[in-house]
Amino acid sequence: MTIGSGGSSIVVPRNFRLLEELERGEKGIGDGTVSYGMDDSDDTYMRSWTGTIIGPHSSVHDGRIYQLKLFCDKDYPEKPPSVRFHSRINMTCVNHETGVVESKKFGMLVNWQRAYTMEDILKQLKKEMAAPQNRKLVQPPEGTFF
């Protein structure tokens, strides 16, 4: 996020940005089907995060709860976090062996912009679950993990 008018702008420092995201994640997002928070409250660099997505209606994911890990390295938000499903899932943008969301197959990571947030990633992944190419894919048994 940048603040300013005219030709000047101030880039919000990484930790302030992550604190904003943490606060937003703790308050709850939209309809409550997507949430996220810190993985370890003692992580002073705020790198490890956990996300949850409740699968969209009218898809094979309906009612399923998916857990994800997000890792914001020191160059976040200039570069996207790494995203990995902890819950097993069958999606075209997710590596079937590791659960990693493959940036080349997930548009938001390929075209990353500083203004994007972890919330945006989770919401976009939920939309991808409902997309025609993923909506009816056979899924691993619920409750299995990478």
Q: Could you report the per-residue pLDDT of 28-75, keeping only the tens digit for each?
A: 777 788 999 999 989 999 999 999 999 999 999 999 999 999 999 999
The token duo for 56 is 């969209």
Determine the Cα angle at 19 with ends 21 and 12, to 5°.
90
Q: What is the dihedral of CA 33, 133, 106, 51, to 10 degrees?
A: 20
- List CB contacts of 16: < 8 A, sequence separation 6 or more: none
The token duo for 24 is 């937003």
Sort strands 10-11 and 48-54 into parallel, antiparallel or unpaired: unpaired
At what angle are helices 118-130 and 14-27 packed, to 10 degrees? 50
**Has residue 4 got a pLDDT over 70?**
no
pLDDT digits (tens, 9 = 90+) for 67-101: 999 999 999 999 999 999 999 999 999 999 999 99
Beta bridge partners of 82: 71
Read off the amino acid at residue 9.
Answer: S
How far lies 29's CA from each of 89, 101, 113, 144, in Å?
22, 21, 21, 26
Read off the amino acid at residue 95.
Answer: N
The whole-model pTM stands at 0.90
